[in-house]
Amino acid sequence: MNGALISLVGAPGSGKTTAAQWLAPELAGEPVLEDYAGNPFLAASYEGATALRLPGQLWFLLSRLDQLAGVRFSGGRTVVSDYGYLQDR
């Protein structure tokens, strides 16, 4: 059996992380969570620094790539993420 990636997508604060943390053990899987605290552009972007929005989104994309590149899906392993891999336009 191949592994599976289940991605939870929704608005900020909608409960994706909580749901992923609950769902992963129910499926004998592992949660993979977005690293909001690690994004050095996020706070300034939310404070109105519009020039940092693109760098912030690119940081998230590269962070997701790095996280998922390290996941081994062999042996039927299930991973539940609190983000969609390519959720942004």
Rounded to whole angstroms, what are the CA distances from 55 to 16, 61, 68, 77, 83?
23, 10, 20, 32, 18
Residue 56 has pLDDT above 60, yes or no: yes
Average pLDDT over residues 82-87: 80
Rounded to whole angstroms, what are the CA distances from 69 to 49, 62, 74?
31, 10, 13
| Residue 49: per-residue pLDDT | 94
For residue 47, name the pLDDT band (cuts at 50, 70, 90). Answer: very high
| Residue 85: per-residue pLDDT | 73
pTM (two decimals): 0.79
Average pLDDT over residues 8-28: 93
